[in-house]
């Protein structure tokens, strides 16, 4: 557990409402701001017009104070949203959507409170993958987030992902979490079964990746990780067959977001080596980041199993795989590397990754350029070494 005088810093200012139809119990009107603006993902609004309209009426928001945001989250869209909120003289915002919408709202609100925010992202994002904002946390307008997807935990995670000049950048800083998060299965009803599986797999990968890479793992982090991955994998197995009902979608959302709770306080390596490599490889190939990560992780975890201690603990890797396999299928291989690959294939993830040596080299060089300084497991690595992991992942995809 560490020394008795160790200090753990944990930002937990978000009040979470979780439940079926719980959004109707959330305070509305002046409690959220006298000049409230509703920010909605454009795709979600198009597919769920009646739900969005019912929410708008419940909140008492005029139709001309509804803003629509298209994914993905880019620097230009954050600038545009910040300008729209400023022109509306908003003192409160309710954001409804996936991670792109929620992350854009985080950064826009942070910028309105601290005008250094976007200039800092622009300047530092040109040199590094992790952009750290000034440490002060200025007062912001009241923020309520309603996630419509599963897997990103964007409503409670203390960072935001934004594309700058087409490249993925992660922004860290105080004040990026909202005042209220509303976790309600009514807002995940329109997710197709495969999207639920992909979201659950993203949450499983994050939990396992953190645990394997975490040098300071303790009994609390182990217990939380075991509980989260066991529940998520069992839900993923059911989702792939028949989808999930409202209660199970709620469970998946809660298990996803619980990874940012107390048991993992101070034990959240926001960016692991696998995340950094997959982000740049996704950019170079144009493939979805989740699919790239699912293809890359088995190869990188095989390196851990072969003794690369800088990437993570072999003992923790084998432990977390035993929990996942027990909750999933005994037909999956007992060895972690092939086992994770088999799980991802059974969930129809990660297939089709293909790139030549030039693309692998470019992704590796970019990874070291932008992420090495912020990811200890990448320190001192060479581009050919990273390209080797990518080559192993591609080869495994071809042979599967």
- Distance of alpha carbon 82 from alpha carbon 341, whole angstroms: 42
Three-state DSSP class for residue 157: coil
- Looking at residue 8, its pLDDT comes to 41
pLDDT at 7: 45
DSSP state of 378: G
Q: What is the C-alpha separation between 96 and 112, in angstroms, rounded?
A: 19
Q: Would you state the pLDDT for residue 9?
A: 43
CA distance 133 to 137: 10
Name the token pair of 26: 């959330």
Cβ atoms 96, 42 nearer than 8 A: no
pLDDT of residue 349: 86
Output phi, psi for 70, to 5 deg.
-90, 140
pLDDT at 6: 46
pTM: 0.91
Nearest-angstrom CA–CA distance, 400 and 386: 21
Residues in the chain: 400
The neighbouring-strand residues paired with 164 are 167
The whole-angstrom separation of Cα 202 and Cα 277 is 16
Q: Please report, in tens digits, the pLDDT of each residue of the chain (400 residues total).
A: 344 444 444 445 788 899 888 888 887 766 788 899 999 999 999 999 999 999 999 999 999 999 999 999 999 999 999 999 999 999 999 999 999 999 999 999 999 999 999 999 999 998 888 899 988 878 899 999 999 999 999 999 889 999 998 888 999 988 899 999 999 999 999 899 899 999 999 999 999 999 999 888 888 888 889 999 999 999 999 998 778 999 999 999 999 988 887 655 555 557 899 999 999 999 999 888 888 999 999 999 999 999 999 999 999 999 999 999 999 999 999 999 999 999 999 998 866 688 899 999 999 999 999 999 889 999 999 999 999 999 999 887 656 5
Could you give the angle at the alpha carbon of 336 between the alpha carbons of 331 and 339, nearest 5°?
A: 30
**pLDDT recorded at residue 3:** 43
pLDDT for res 216: 80
Tokens of 19: 């439940």
pLDDT in tens, 115-126: 999 999 999 998
């Amino acid at each position: 557990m560490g020394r008795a005088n160790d200090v753990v810093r944990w930002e937990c200012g978000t009040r979470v409402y979780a439940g079926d139809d719980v959004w109707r119990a959330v305070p509305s009107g002046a409690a959220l701001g006298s000049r409230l603006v509703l920010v909605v993902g454009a795709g979600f609004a198009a597919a769920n017009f009646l739900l969005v309209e019912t929410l708008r009426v419940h909140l008492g928001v005029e139709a001309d104070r509804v803003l629509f945001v298209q994914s993905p989250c880019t620097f230009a869209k954050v600038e545009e949203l910040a300008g729209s909120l400023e022109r509306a003289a908003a003192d409160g915002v309710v954001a409804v959507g996936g991670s792109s919408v929620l992350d854009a709202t985080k950064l826009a609100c942070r910028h309105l409170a601290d005008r250094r925010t976007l200039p800092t992202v622009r300047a530092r994002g040109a040199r590094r993958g992790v952009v750290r904002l000034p440490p002060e946390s200025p007062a912001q307008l009241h923020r309520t987030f309603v996630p419509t997807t599963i897997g990103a935990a964007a409503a409670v995670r203390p960072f935001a992902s934004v594309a700058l000049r087409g490249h993925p950048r992660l922004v860290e800083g105080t004040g990026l979490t909202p005042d209220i998060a509303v976790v309600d299965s009514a807002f995940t009803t329109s997710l197709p079964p495969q999207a639920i599986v992909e979201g659950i797999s993203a949450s499983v990968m994050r939990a396992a990746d953190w645990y394997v890479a975490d040098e300071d793992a303790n009994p609390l982090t182990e217990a939380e990780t075991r509980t989260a991955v066991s529940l998520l994998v069992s839900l993923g197995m059911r989702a792939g067959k028949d989808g999930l009902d409202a209660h199970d979608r709620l469970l998946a959302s809660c298990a996803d977001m619980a990874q940012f709770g107390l048991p993992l306080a101070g034990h959240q390596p926001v960016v692991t080596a696998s995340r950094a490599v997959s982000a740049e490889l996704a950019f170079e190939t144009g493939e979805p980041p989740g699919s790239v990560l699912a293809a890359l992780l088995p190869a990188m975890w095989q390196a851990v199993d072969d003794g690369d201690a800088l990437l993570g603990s072999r003992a923790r890797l084998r432990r977390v795989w035993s929990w996942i396999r027990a909750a999933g299928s005994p037909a999956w291989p007992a060895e972690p590397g092939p086992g994770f690959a088999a799980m991802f294939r059974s969930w129809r993830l990660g297939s089709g990754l293909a790139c030549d040596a030039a693309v692998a080299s470019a992704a590796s060089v970019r990874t070291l350029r932008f992420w090495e300084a912020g990811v200890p497991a990448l320190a001192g690595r060479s581009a050919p070494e990273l390209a080797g992991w990518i080559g192993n992942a591609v080869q495994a995809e071809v042979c599967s």
